[in-house]
Amino acid sequence: MQVIRAVGREAAAKKYDLLSAMMAHGLAGDKHRQRLVLRLMALITTRYNWQRDELTIGQREIARLWCVDERTVKREMAKLRALGWIEIKQQGARGRVSVLGLNLERILLDTKAEWENIGPDFVTRLTGAAPEPASNVVPLHRAEPVAAEGVWGEAQARLAAEDRALFDAWFAGLAEAGVRDGCLTLFAPTRFHASYVETHLLERLRIAVQRSDGSIVKLRVLGP
């Protein structure tokens, strides 16, 4: 999957690709998801700085744009943060509004299931890979993830659905060690494995776990 960057000659087309992916995802969901996606798209098209990855707008201005009250703005923005679609880059203070950023990789991951609704050319463009030609060769069977059991089992199923190769390489080998005081502890097979996950994949791991159980607010990945 290609990462969308707002630079170069194709920057404008890539922006439209992101908005198209969000549109397809929203249309495939229920009315609540449609409204949430539409509201974020309104912020992106009116106030988002693509080159700096900054969304700087106050709750009052958002409420006016969305035609809602500020309580609704707080609730909807909290949902977008929980999804991992927006992130706080700089916390507001002394009358200044917070500076937000978009997690473009997370948005693309969450909308990937609906890319086919736009067309195979769209899928090819975003994945950067042409469709494989038909073949008579029978592929080797690859075992599916173990049926989800508990919070970690459900999170594993989410991670495998998002990116099976990444799951096989880094998430499949993690074992649950229990949940205590809102913290899920996972054991990795090696110290390097644990360090890599915590350094490079912790955010993706956190989102998958919190979507399975919102009461978990902290993660630890330990090695032997």
Cα–Cα distance list, 73 to 30, 48, 197 (Å): 19, 17, 34
Residue 224 is predicted with a pLDDT of: 85
Provide mean pLDDT across the span 14-19.
90
> Around Cβ 41, how many Cβ atoms within 10 Å?
16
More confident residue, 139 or 164: 164
Q: pTM above 0.75?
A: no
Residue 8 is predicted with a pLDDT of: 57
User: What does the pLDDT look like over 81-95, one tens digit per residue?
Assistant: 989 999 998 887 777
- Asked if 214 and 179 count as a contact pair (C-beta separation under 8 A), the reply is no
User: What does the pLDDT look like over 24-75, one tens digit per residue?
Assistant: 999 999 999 999 999 999 999 999 998 888 999 999 999 999 999 999 999 9
